[in-house]
Amino acid sequence: MTQNRRELANAIRFLSMDAVEAAKSGHPGAPMGMADIAEVLWNDFLRHNPGDPTWFNRDRFVLSNGHGSMLLYSLLHLSGYDLPIEELKNFRQLHSRTAGHPEYGHTPGVETTTGPLGQGFANAVGMALAERVLAQRFNRPEHEVIDHNTYVFLGDGCLMEGISHEVASLAGTWKLGKLIAFWDDNRISIDGDVQGWFTDDTAARFEAYGWRVIRGVDGHDPEAVAAAIRAAQDDVGAPTLICCRTTIGFGAPNKQGSESTHGAPLGKDEIAAAREHLGWAHAPFEVPEEVYAGWRAGGAGTARQAQWEQALDKYADQYPAEAAELRRRMAGSLPEDFQEQAQAYIERLQAEGPTVASRKASQMALDAFGPLLPELIGGSADLAHSNLTLWKGSTSVTDVEARNANYIHYGVREFGMSAISNGVALHGGFVPYDATFLVFSDYSRNALRMSALIPTHTIHVFTHDSIGLGEDGPTHQPVEHLASLRHIPNNEVWRPCDAVESAVAWKVAIERRDGPSCLVFSRQNLAHQARGAEQLQAITRGGYVLSDPEGGAFDVILIATGSEVALATQAVGRLADAGIKARVVSMPSAEVFDRQDAGWRESVLPSSCRARVAIEAGVTDYWRKYVGLDGRVVGIDSFGASAPAAALFEHFGITVDAVVDAARSLA
């Protein structure tokens, strides 16, 4: 090891120590322990351009053990990203760009938001899959325009989380040879030595997944680390786990190797001792110019990007259509004719009026939109023939020769599936979707939350949306899930009432760029609803007037979603016979409706009419914001039961009679 390399790594250590100390909060141990590994990777192997963090063919680097965020912030600052020293001094402070855990879009060079352990690993698997599939689609002999690695740092905590099993298994199955993971094997977590709760043979576990495993690497020996990375890059037939034995808090002479360095500042005395121990004779946040020069030597990133752009121009000369598609997809723009053709399909559906389950309508939309969108990629958690996510143009990503690979069989791995989808979206070049039963959204809940928080352009498909799935019983019947998903900030939930609303939901989700969408579909057939041209356009506003009494005046408003819209429309005639005029409002997306201007919301739900009934086969409290305390909600506030769907709706009182009775009690 040269002294210079240790100095470069020590810059990471002391920036991390000083920032955590200044914040009086944070995790110095992991950055100190992984500094030598990071220095070798970033200075000798990582292909990136600090001057342009969005360069498409850059290597992706993910810090899955995101509590060690000062490792990443130090790397970004030292290598020349737009992250000045003042931001490191403001670590974990309000409005700084150095949050407690790395946040995508908040800090230049951060590839994903890593907070909950293991999800960064899953995102990295998604990124590596995206690179592989894009390379299959666009690369040609002598023109490898998509060619980059995905590197991910993992801690013991990431490997203890169950999601690590799900995504590592898939990465091995998919043979993602450009995915290289570094396990920070320091044997310490917050509670102390992990020997009391983590005795897995991790290396054997990954070998069983089909990974190449490089064991016993001294994480403080740059030559050993570099040799391991070269070996990993030489074998692209499988993903690689590099097992790096490290000392947490390396360099803090009295605390290194113990949990006391994991999640708390070292204290001024220990930092002073570390400065003496490592020979770092510099004030807090002071980095010598020669160290900066070592980190920023030569402007290699700018040169690499320029070389790639020249190669892309040569590719375009020979393959102009492919180059145009690639550039469009890199920019994240949709095909010019997508909106027009999608709208034409929706108008045809309205004219044809099919009565189908909305899960079938979803598949119909995929058949219509898929050929227009080569960037559409997705799949299901072992429920393809129930979720109906397979469409006519589906080709499995396991076909490594297919240029149009676009379908992912995830197996029974809901959490890993959704987190991988987030990684695919973050990589760019794709619009990913995933699917399972609505009740199993609980399994992927945290990844759904991260979709909205990051945010990612991810489409989460859920079918079997209520007690209407029938005989499988309460374990499979979602009652609280719609409300739960609606409460996630920046998440758009769509529960369409027929084939037309289903297609609109897909179109809006595809066009959305600032967050995820959850599309919720039925198992049972849904009746087609009549609409005029204005109503058809209004669906995109989340809530709209589906029908009004003749003459326009009404006594009560019926608000419904999904299969229950039909109950509302059927109740209209019965109420009219009783002298009560009813307006029907279909609200496929409450979140989208709530974002409309006050004029639109008032036109749909006028404040002058307080007689309101909400109808949805789920928990009732969510709807109080629309109907008020004096309104009525026809729903279900208990778990379901095992019986045919029709019997369940009758048993739980979600019927036309119940809607009529509720409306009559208000009018």
Catalytic residues: 414
Q: Is 523 annotated as a binding residue?
A: yes
52 is in an annotated binding site: no
**Three-state SS for 179?**
strand
Q: Which residues contact 340 (CB under 8 A, 6 or more apart)?
A: none
Whether 577 has a binding-site annotation, put simply, is no
Q: Check the annotation: does 487 bind a ligand.
A: no
Task: Please check whether residue 28 is in contact with residue 14, taking contact to mean a CB–CB distance below 8 angstroms.
Answer: no
- Amino acid 326 reads L
Q: Using an 8 Å Cβ cutoff, are 554 and 609 in contact? A: yes
- Where does 296-431 have alpha helices with state H? 300-318, 320-331, 338-352, 358-369, 384-387, 414-427
Count Cβ atoms within 10 A of the Cβ of residue 95 and give its class: 0-12 exposed, 13-18 middle, 19 or more buried.
Answer: exposed
Q: Where are the beta strands (DSSP E) in 425-465?
A: 431-437, 459-463
Beta bridge partners of 188: 193
Count other Cβ atoms within 10 Å, centred on residue 185: 23
- Determine whether the annotation assigns residue 116 to a binding site: yes
430 is in an annotated binding site: no
Measured CA to CA, the distance from residue 264 to residue 92 in angstroms comes to 13
Distance CA 37, CA 221 (A): 8
Q: Is 67 annotated as a binding residue?
A: yes
- C-beta separation of 357 from 525 below 8 A: yes
Distance of CA 179 to the CA centre of its chain: 19
Contact 257, 246 (CB under 8 A): no
Instruction: Confirm or deny that 454 is annotated as ligand binding.
Output: no
Is 532 annotated as ligand-binding?
no
Question: Is position 262 annotated in a ligand binding site?
Answer: yes
Instruction: Quote the crossing angle between the two packed helices 499-511 and 358-369, to the nearest 10°.
Output: 50
Q: For residue 379, what is the enclosing H or E element?
A: strand 376-380
Of the chain, the end-to-end C-alpha distance in Å amounts to 84
The DSSP bridge pattern shows strands 556-560 and 612-615 to be: parallel
Residue with tokens 């208000």: 666
Strand 356-357, strand 525-526: pairing: antiparallel
CA-only gyration radius of the chain, Å: 28
Check whether 77 is labelled as a binding-site residue: no
126 is in an annotated binding site: no
Cα(154)–Cα(496) distance, integer angstroms? 41
Nearest to 628 by CA among 557, 576, 526: 557
Pairing of strands 431-437, 192-193: unpaired
- Whether omega for the bond prior to residue 549 falls within 30 degrees of 0, making it cis, is no
Residue 214 half-sphere exposure toward CB, CA atoms < 13 A: 26
CA distance linking residue 496 with residue 364, whole number of Å: 14
What is the rounded CA–CA span in Å between residue 380 and residue 386? 9
* 637 labeled part of a ligand binding site: no
Amino acid (1-letter code) at residue 214 = I
The encoded tokens of residue 301 equal 């990133």
Maximum distance among all Cα pairs of the chain, rounded to whole angstroms: 91
Lookup: tokens for 550: 């003749």
Angle at 567 between CA 562 and CA 568, to 5 degrees: 90
Residue 265 in contact with residue 21, Cβ under 8 Å?
Answer: yes
Query: Residue ranges for the binding site for substrate?
Result: 27, 262, 359, 386, 464, 472, 476, 523
Residues annotated as binding site?
27, 67, 115-117, 156-157, 186, 188, 262, 359, 386, 440, 464, 472, 476, 523
